[in-house]
Structure 1
């Protein structure tokens, strides 16, 4: 038992965080919660975990700050090349062909758990390259972290963060500025950044593709199922779901179909 966080307090915080977000803390990652709590106590000037618990129970803003602090916002441009090979060579051509046949020229994507924006900006650049000129790109990018969303909206990335962006993309879609690069307005305008807690349903409908990579690992089985069902409800017939390469829907009672492409494994809604 920790002197800082008793077993009873750990249970109280664990249940509170799960109830508010679906994020699950087990004993194995208890130390992460403890270190984030120490940080928030220092920042807010509270002396005990009980005082701080009283604060988050009544203060929505601080509750969000805590949830922000317990998620790890690791991301990069063109993360997991096999996913982008699948997106470019399999998903986009299939959807474009179907959309041309139906006369629907809007391509709708949700980047759920977008962190500081590298994923949705990558998607915007790829779609700008590979979609026919008369198609409209509509990207929703959401996260639990307001701090990350503000950074993403700005579209500035230090030189150390642009690794993985092909040179032709860099020249075409980003402008060099002091100490780094900033996304061109032509790419920024394709994306709407918005706060969203995946524990709750989304208003989005008729999505063609959902990217939710390395997010489900934060949830227990019940919360994962809830999130995946939420995606199903937001997606149109004949659409695709990308999850993290170490994540799987195997064993989950879900209607998504498993798809093995030449490059990576993804999931589909009513695609066969």
Structure 2
């Protein structure tokens, strides 16, 4: 039984993962890659890492499955409440102000790296509460993990997973069912879930708000810059970008402006 990837095996997988997705594995998180590859070999009765490498490099679908398996997905509803406080009290009022000036009445939001859906559903519930009459909104939610997207599309969460959802939101936007809670259909229909590799341009344009929180940490600086520049190109003339509270664009050559609100720090495009 394989105990650990050799240095040669590790470098082989580390490189192909980086080339395909921009996700970086280093000495500090090598154990994660080791354990995920060993689990894949065991579950699929594959004898050696070299045999598995040959499979993924010849079959794009197997490559997607491998990237899915090595991606860590950790999230929850209303994660980092100050971000959502800024969203409610500053970002969306500003977006509405910009929209009124342009005559556009549709607010477009992207949850990039949405994992199992808690973030986009949180955004959708908030927007249903604060979106003013005469305005509409649409959320695109994407991830590189197909398994996570399937959970997100289903919209079912155990009781433990809905901890942190305010009681009034839970009553209004979920249905209590055996074993947990189901997101209501009128919330689900505001979100389009889609597979997307952030290494590539999504093709989306005129987005008003992008959430990409706790994702950039998996990329090295060149890959981060590529992702951030893709975001900039996809956003509307006046728009906002959220990244994780432990992440920063400081020192990166981007066009985004740093923004400090009364609730949280974020970034903007032509907002000053």
Give TM-score, length-normalised by structure 1. Answer: 0.97
Q: Deviations over 1:18-43 (max 9, x none)?
A: 00000011122111111000011012
Q: Which residue is 2:24 aligned to?
A: 24
In 2, the alpha carbon distance for the partners of 1:142 and 1:136 equals 20
How many residues align? The count is 271
1:61 CA displacement: 1.9
Q: Which moved more, 1:221-230 or 1:61-70?
A: 61-70
The answer to whether 1:148 aligns with 2:141 is no
In 1, the alpha carbon distance for the partners of 2:218 and 2:97 equals 36
Q: Which residue is 2:225 aligned to?
A: 225
Q: Which moved more, 1:95-104 or 1:110-119?
A: 95-104
Q: Which residue is 2:133 aligned to?
A: 133
Q: Deviations over 1:127-167 (max 9, x none)?
A: 11001132111100000000000000001011111111111
Q: Deviations over 1:16-69 (max 9, x none)?
A: 000000001112211111100001101221010001110111122221111111
Q: Which residue is 1:161 aligned to?
A: 161
- SS of the aligned residue for 2:73 comes to coil
1:3 CA displacement: 6.0
In 1, the alpha carbon distance for the partners of 2:98 and 2:9 equals 54
In 2, the alpha carbon distance for the partners of 1:238 and 1:253 equals 19
RMSD, aligned α-carbons? 1.1
Give TM-score, length-normalised by structure 2. Answer: 0.97
- Structure 1: stretches of 5+ with no match in the other structure: none
1:204 CA displacement: 0.5
Q: Which residue is 1:5 aligned to?
A: 5
In 2, the alpha carbon distance for the partners of 1:268 and 1:126 equals 20
Q: Which residue is 1:69 aligned to?
A: 69
Answer yes or no: is the 8 Å Cα contact 2:229–2:254 preserved in 1: yes
1:85-96 equivalent positions in 2, closer than 5 A:
85-96=85-96
Q: Which residue is 2:116 aligned to?
A: 116
- SS of the aligned residue for 1:205 comes to coil
- Structure 2: stretches of 5+ with no match in the other structure: none
In 1, the alpha carbon distance for the partners of 2:127 and 2:152 equals 18
Q: Which residue is 2:105 aligned to?
A: 105
Q: Deviations over 1:92-151 (max 9, x none)?
A: 111112212322110100000000000000000001100113211110000000000000
The answer to whether 1:259 aligns with 2:238 is no
- SS of the aligned residue for 2:209 comes to strand
- SS of the aligned residue for 1:55 comes to helix
Q: Which residue is 2:44 aligned to?
A: 44
